[in-house]
A = this chain, B = another copy of it.
Amino acid sequence: MKHTKINDLLGGKGLLHEVKAKGWVKTFRNNQFIALNDGSTINNIQCVVDLDKFPAELLKKVHTGAAISVRGTLVESQGAGQNVEIQVEHLKVYGEANPEEYPIQPKKHSLEFLRENAHLRIRTNMFGAIMRVRSVLSYAVHKYFQDNGFFYFNAPIITGSDAEGAGEMFRVTNLDLNNLPRTEEGKIDFKEDFFGKTTNLTVSGQLEAETYAMALGSVYTFGPTFRAENSNTSRHLAEFWMIEPEVAFNNLDDNMDLAEDFIKYVINYVLDKCADDLAFLDKRLQDEEKTKPQAERSEMTLLEKLRFVVDNNFKRVSYTEAVDILRNSKPNKNKKFKYIIDGWGADLQSEHERYLVEKHFKCPVILFDYPAEIKAFYMRMNEDGKTVRAMDILFPGIGEIVGGSQREERYDVLLEKIEKMGIDKEELWWYLDTRKFGTAPHSGFGLGFERLVLFATGMTNIRDVIPFPRTPQNAEF
């Protein structure tokens, strides 16, 4: 007979009938109660074994981590803590997990230990919960855009362009590094490389997405992007997934509306679909908070934070207003900031963003109209000639989660900017074409998916919300 997912059995599917379940043993208590999990839910099903019915040899194999199949009647449970249980009549062990060797024993493991065992950490309750939330969140991303008339656009991962300047890039090559081909002048001959020129891993699909928005109207990317930056922090990855919507005819206000609506939708979606996993993660965070001094504890639990984001408007503040607030703030006057804000034009640091979000406004904040000098070439210049139509969304505990802008759609203005910033305009011929032929106002933003998962799960290190993190000195598995 076919086995049934434990999530369905716990929902009462097959009650009072013979059912089969397959999964991994979480615990085996008193040689009688197997807590079985198959990953379909964080909850285990209790399988009750009558000691006398099974050979001792077989039961000895039922350790934490063993893969087994059980068959028996699904009945209402007598014990506390579960509604149903399986009265086991048949038991099969597929694979044991020697307790002397199996690293994932039912006890507390450090997050660092689990990172070193990233292939096995998914077998813990915590990582099961995180990765199910990640999966549901990613589906919510697609569902939101598809339900709202967007088309999914796959930006190229290998790119011949390095003009965007969003960060350091990884080189992609097929050349034999031990025997590099040379031109007559002795330079490396990249004509011999796979693509006939130098290529890199993309840092953003935005520029290509713009070409598609100028035909399909509303598009979004959701794919991996890369930064070869030596940032060994809890917020940075060398490889991460990014979501980049781009919408023709949207101005910056529309763009802010879209970003806010989108974030609220996906958070609401996981609140709705991942209640059990979020309840577990909420409790985990509360337990962790209890180990901290009172003053360092969060004011809100994970679930409260998520509901707060869904229920409240994001505060929209211009860069100029934000600088005024910061200049007059206590930590600035008392020189508690590492970087003192003394005038207009400075790039805001993480400490300033956190002050605005966590101390001053106490809610997600959208900053807009930044100085042109500190922003990318493609952002639309305002009438004032010194600010651009950029926006960043700042989240409590996370910092910048979204960066976006209305794009400069005027050919002459864009070209002048490109030349002024010393960017090779020949390389961007195709991008300039979009302004030459049928140009129109348009806007978009980028959202780092892992930062969203961090926020949704209440985790604090970004390495714990992606299956196999890539960071400096680490590409294991």
Number of copies: 2
Is there a chain B Cβ closer than 8 Å to A314's Cβ?
no
Chain A window 190-214, contacts with chain B (Cβ cutoff 8 Å), 1 for yes, 0 for no: 0000111101010000001001101
Interface size on A, residues (CB 8 A): 107
Is there a chain B Cβ closer than 8 Å to A356's Cβ?
no
Shortest distance between the CB of A81 and any CB in chain B (Å): 22
Is there a chain B Cβ closer than 8 Å to A468's Cβ?
yes
Is there a chain B Cβ closer than 8 Å to A421's Cβ?
no
Q: Is the CB of A475 within 8 A of B197?
A: yes
Shortest distance between the CB of A440 and any CB in chain B (Å): 4
Q: Is the CB of B441 within 8 A of A477?
A: no
Distance A129 CA – B223 CA, assembled complex (angstroms): 22
Pick the contact of A178: B38, B154, B188 (CB < 8 A): B188
Q: Is the CB of B437 within 8 A of A120?
A: yes
Distance A81 CA – B473 CA, assembled complex (angstroms): 62
Q: Closest 5 CB pairs between A and B?
A: A95-B439, A39-B216, A67-B440, A39-B217, A195-B475
Interface residues of A (CB under 8 A from B): 3, 5, 7, 22-25, 38-40, 65-67, 69, 94-98, 101-102, 104, 118-120, 122-123, 127-128, 131-132, 134-136, 138-139, 142, 146, 149, 151-161, 168, 170-175, 177-178, 180, 188, 194-197, 199, 201, 208, 211-212, 214-218, 223-224, 226, 228, 230, 238-239, 241, 248-249, 409, 430-431, 433-441, 466-468, 470, 472-477
A-B contact pairs, 21 of them (CB 8 A): A7-B149, A40-B218, A65-B438, A66-B438, A94-B439, A94-B440, A101-B437, A119-B208, A119-B211, A120-B211, A131-B212, A135-B151, A138-B152, A154-B466, A154-B467, A160-B476, A178-B188, A194-B228, A194-B238, A195-B473, A208-B467
